[in-house]
Amino acid sequence: MSTTVTIETTPYSDQKPGTSGLRKKVTVFRQPRYLENFVQAIFNVASELKGQLLIVGGDGRYYNQQAIQVILKIAAANGVKQVMVGQNGLLSTPAVSHLIRKNKAAGGIILSASHNPGGVDGDFGIKFNISNGGPAPTSFTDAVFELSKSISQYQIIETADIPLSEQQQVFIADMQINIIDPVSDYAALMAELFDFQKIKSMFTGDNFTMCFDAMHAVTGPYAKEIFENQLSANSGAVINGVPLEDFAGGHPDPNLAHAIELASLLNSGLNAPDFGAASDGDGDRNMILGQHFFVNPSDSLAIMTANAHLLPGYKSGISGVARSLPTSRAVDKVAESMGIRCYETPTGWKYFGNLLDDKRITLCGEESFGSGSDHIREKDGIWAVLFWLNLIAIKQQSVEQIAREHWKQYGRHYYTRHDYEAIDSEAAENLIQHLREQSATLAGKEYAGHKITLCDDFSYRDPVDNSIAEKQGIRILFDDESRIVYRLSGTGTEGATLRVYIENYVTDTTQHTLETQSALADLVEISKNIAQIKTHCNREQADVIT
């Protein structure tokens, strides 16, 4: 027997979603009625969910399954007709996007804090994806936040929890719940986009080996099914493949600072795998490695754009490409050469959605280890890995050879990101405000031979709906096509993170073998001096360099 009840509640003042939903410490989400308030606010704003299908799943981090039970009971009380939820509560973010689109769902709720640490003392997150499969726009998240500040009650059905460990069909009141295989639909989509037979022949006939680090996050089951079972990759191709609530104490962020085991394997000498890759907590990010070779995500997007026509899913060509503001301008050079449009957007995957829906672009990507295409409306880690595997199989070249050939044709954008983490929020805001105030006076000034041609606070007008996003990051452009960008991150849960993005464009192929930080050393110092990072933040060096 199940009963719908109305629970009186008091609002919280801190439920403002960032670029990827609401992210807080687990301890915050476990406060009385904190999760319930926010979920009810979502249903109040997303009235289109009533009588329709909702997709629910997450990355398996601590509190994932408990939160799903709350969401299911509130969904049933708010008139949702049907819910699809991944077995054991697992669904990668790309898989949720695909399921929304394939099943014409009204939306999806994703439980993840992406690349942030998990566990009882770690982070948790929740976000809503709309019917196109992409993250909700700012207008939606703003409405949810406004409602959350005054919410006084929520509706929920009082009933026993639903077992999520088996694929089955169950009900809460009149709401049908289908607990599904989280992998199969997504794997089938990948087989449509890429030449699985050609990739498989590389593993079975060419002695080609790979290593994929799932980082004890959600992509473990996806990787094992696709790489090991369907593509016959070498034994042990997937490491850290069992999803764990605390990611085995690790930080599920696919970069050189956190995927240390993978990086060590690829740099281990003669017996190193030919190809390495990693994904993050919810499966939407990726890192690509060759033997003793790292592909920065900005270059990866540029290389994908230049070669997409070689792959089955993109053989008819691409309509255009988009990158976030901080992402290097490597892809701009490719787009210019190909005669296609290249859009510069604010950080946040939601800004790509309108461009994809309007068929203005086919590929898109961010420097923060994310890339994707029009097959879904999220970035997609496994997709990117398959793209590279398919490209290697076609070109019969190593990761390094493909990258260096690309640089030879288009030039190399040396690129780095310096993160100053958990700094005082007021100090970080003061630094950005200082940059805004001096932006008009910087043009024409010269620093260590680099002359500034433009300094502004980036704003974006969406070419589809004409919506405007302002104050998206301070960008400084130099006359030699080098660039520095400053912005505050919206994905952390403690203090503020100042991200500084630095790039330098080099066409001389004899200068393409420099170590990245050495190649950018002068611009790194310039970035510190212009922003007065030590003065404002009391930091000599960045905490994380990628």
The pLDDT value recorded for residue 492 is 52
Report all structural domains of the chain as residue ranges with CATH numbers, in order of start. 3-182 (3.40.120.10), 186-410 (3.40.120.10), 412-545 (3.30.310.50)
**How many Å apart are CA 274 and CA 264, to the nearest integer?**
13
Residue 448 has pLDDT above 60, yes or no: yes
Q: Which residues pair with 213 in a beta bridge?
A: 239, 278
Q: Is 280:252 a contact under the CB 8 Å cutoff?
A: yes
Sheet with 168-172, edge to edge strand ranges = 22-25, 123-129, 107-111, 53-58, 82-90, 175-180, 168-172
- For tokens 């997504």, name the residue: 186
The pLDDT value recorded for residue 257 is 86
How confident is the model over 94-113, as a mean pLDDT?
98
**How many Å apart are CA 240 and CA 414, to the nearest integer?**
31
Q: Report pTM.
A: 0.95
Residue 2 has pLDDT above 80, yes or no: no
Give pLDDT tens digits for 350-379: 899 999 999 999 999 999 999 999 999 999
How confident is the model over 106-119, as a mean pLDDT?
95
At residue 124 the predicted structure's pLDDT band, cuts being 50, 70 and 90, is: very high
How confident is the model over 425-437, as a mean pLDDT?
92
Residue 210 has pLDDT above 70, yes or no: yes
* Catalytic machinery residues: 114
Residue 136 DSSP label: P
User: How many CA atoms, within 13 angstroms, populate the side-chain half-sphere of residue 55?
Assistant: 33
The pLDDT value recorded for residue 464 is 95
At residue 140 the predicted structure's pLDDT band, cuts being 50, 70 and 90, is: very high
The pLDDT value recorded for residue 493 is 55
What share of the chain has pLDDT > 70, as a percent? 99
Give pLDDT tens digits for 261-289: 999 999 998 789 999 999 999 999 999 99
Residue 490 has pLDDT above 60, yes or no: no
Count Cβ atoms within 10 A of the Cβ of residue 371 and give its class: 0-12 exposed, 13-18 middle, 19 or more buried: buried
Give pLDDT tens digits for 503-538: 999 999 999 999 999 999 999 999 999 999 999 988
